[in-house]
Structure 1
Amino acid sequence: MCTLTYLPNRDGFIVTQNRDESPLRGKPIFPFRSEEGYTYPKDPDGDGSWMMTDGKSVVCVLNGGYEPHERNPPYRHSRGLLPRILLDRPQLELTPSDAEGLEPFSVFIFNASKVVRYTWDGTSLFVESFSPNENHIFQSAPLYSNAMQSMRSLWFDEWLSEHSPSKDTILDFHFNGGDGAGETNICMYRPGVQTTAITQVSISTNSPSTYFFHSILSGEELTIHL
């Protein structure tokens, strides 16, 4: 749940995420549709997801807050349950009580009117707003140092200067962006942790909205209409 980009366009927006996890974690179930109409890849280990949508808003989870942290289990529940908690609420808002007892996280809400980040550092819940009319990249602090994050943000800026943003071109960045070093590439690989899946939600008012899922481990790939 570790590299996330947001691209606005004339009739909607595109959110793309690389999930960096242990390759031993259970195989996600995709597509999974809840009774409420939410679509997501379901994590069988935590029973939640890293990217969930109701067709209008997209909620994503990155592991960790602003800084690396030491794990201190047991935790109240999986951070992957937070997207459902948010989508169940008309105002799409988290409270400090929602975060109490959870491992540090960063949760992002994207829709036509806002880009919001909730960050829990284990003690306090912070809220930040970003322009929905600008491009953004967000990364997981536990896996990437400040220097690595700055370097990867530079790759994103360089990519934006050389490409016309679209579903396909931003996917190419998520698959192939970087300098060839496995531990820092956008599609990363390190012993015990790697990019295991790439997911993308494209919300559009003038064409079908889509959810794309690609498993790095199995090669399985699927695009569905929302």
Structure 2
Amino acid sequence: MCTVSYLPLPNGELLLTSSRDEKTARPSARFPVSRIINDQTVYFPQDPQGHGSWIATARKSDSALTTVCLLNGGFFAHKPRPPYRHSRGLVVLDVFHYSSATNWLANYDFQNLEPFTLIIVQSGRLWEVRWDGQTVYSRQPDPTKPAIWSSVTLYWPAIVARRETWFQTWLRQQVNFTVAGIRQFHKQAGAGDNANGMLMNRGNGLQTVSLTTIRHGAATSAIFYEDLITSQLSYRQLTTAHEHSYAY
């Protein structure tokens, strides 16, 4: 599942956007769902099947933001070998039980979990963590530079490279980064390529079913969740109890 883009904004602010590619037969996610984990309120769209999520965020104080995003697969498409210990979606929520991404990396038990990639943004730092079923690999990309990731279980290396080209082309056309702008990219880039475009639909019940954007600002953070099947957009501001939901 998933394509993830990361955009740094001035003054340490950021945008993280995730397109969820999934079977339409899978039950629709619930949003917003919140859970208190390690003295912080974590917000996420919940997968009712695995009870986890592919993206979650929490703002512990005015500046301390943690956002975790999941993509299926490590480096290459793999053959599933169940049973696994639990859903990869629960790994996303498990990160919040640790004091930091560094602490999670040092102490988490990755054994008997299906391969995955995690993108973690925390306190101005960016992590890319890949588990291939045997070994954990981690690196810290430059948080001042835009980045994009595509799930290796759905997109072959040549397609991943093509999507990177779309992203770089889009970046050169931008004066500044906005929620509306990056969401438009996730809906329109690669238009005409139904199998591999950002808004993917392979005609076999597998397509892009939702779009989530997290905006972290200097004073507030917000999460925007759009169910692309029902055309319903929901918004949650992390620092208040206000919530809006509307169809369009």
How far residue 147 of structure 1 moved from its aligned partner, in angstroms, is 0.6
**Structure 1 partner of 2:66:** 57
Whether 1:48 aligns to 2:59 is: no
Contact 1:21–1:196 (CA<8 Å) still a contact in 2?
yes
How far residue 95 of structure 1 moved from its aligned partner, in angstroms, is 4.5
**Structure 2 partner of 1:127:** 138
Distance 2:122 2:15 in 1: 10
Distance 2:236 2:108 in 1: 35
Q: Aligned letter for 1:196?
A: V
CA RMSD of aligned residues (A): 1.3
Whether 1:167 aligns to 2:171 is: no
Q: Aligned letter for 2:182?
A: I
Summarize the alignment of residues 168-187 of structure 1 with structure 2, pairs less than 5 Å apart.
Answer: 168-187=180-199
Summarize the alignment of residues 1-226 of structure 1 with structure 2, pairs less than 5 Å apart.
Answer: 1-11=1-11, 12-36=13-37, 37-55=41-59, 56-92=65-101, 93-95=104-106, 98-163=109-174, 164-190=176-202, 191-206=204-219, 208-226=220-238
TM-score normalised by the chain length of structure 2:
0.87
Distance 1:146 1:118 in 2: 18
Distance 1:217 1:125 in 2: 35
Farther off after superposition, 96-105 or 47-56: 96-105
**Structure 1 partner of 2:244:** none
How far residue 113 of structure 1 moved from its aligned partner, in angstroms, is 2.0
Change (3 A) 1:175 1:45: same
Instruction: Please state whether the residue corresponding to 1:189 is helix, strand or coil.
Output: coil
Instruction: Please state whether the residue corresponding to 1:87 is helix, strand or coil.
Output: helix
Contact 2:200–2:208 (CA<8 Å) still a contact in 1?
yes
Change (3 A) 1:202 1:118: same
Contact 1:2–1:19 (CA<8 Å) still a contact in 2?
yes
Map Cα deviations across residues 146-168 of structure 1 (whole Å, 9 max, x no partner): 11011100000000001232111
Contact 2:191–2:198 (CA<8 Å) still a contact in 1?
no
Q: Aligned letter for 1:28?
A: A
Work out the percentage of aligned pairs sharing the same amino acid. Answer: 32
Change (3 A) 1:75 1:95: farther
Q: Aligned letter for 2:151?
A: S
How far residue 224 of structure 1 moved from its aligned partner, in angstroms, is 1.4
How far residue 97 of structure 1 moved from its aligned partner, in angstroms, is 5.2
How far residue 111 of structure 1 moved from its aligned partner, in angstroms, is 2.8
Distance 2:205 2:83 in 1: 21
How far residue 211 of structure 1 moved from its aligned partner, in angstroms, is 0.4
TM-score normalised by the chain length of structure 1:
0.96
Contact 2:120–2:127 (CA<8 Å) still a contact in 1?
yes
Map Cα deviations across residues 126-162 of structure 1 (whole Å, 9 max, x no partner): 1111011100001111111111011100000000001
How far residue 91 of structure 1 moved from its aligned partner, in angstroms, is 1.6
Instruction: Please state whether the residue corresponding to 2:148 is helix, strand or coil.
Output: strand
How far residue 96 of structure 1 moved from its aligned partner, in angstroms, is 7.5
Q: Aligned letter for 1:141?
A: V
**Structure 1: runs of 5+ lacking an equivalent:** none
**Structure 2: runs of 5+ lacking an equivalent:** 60-64, 239-248
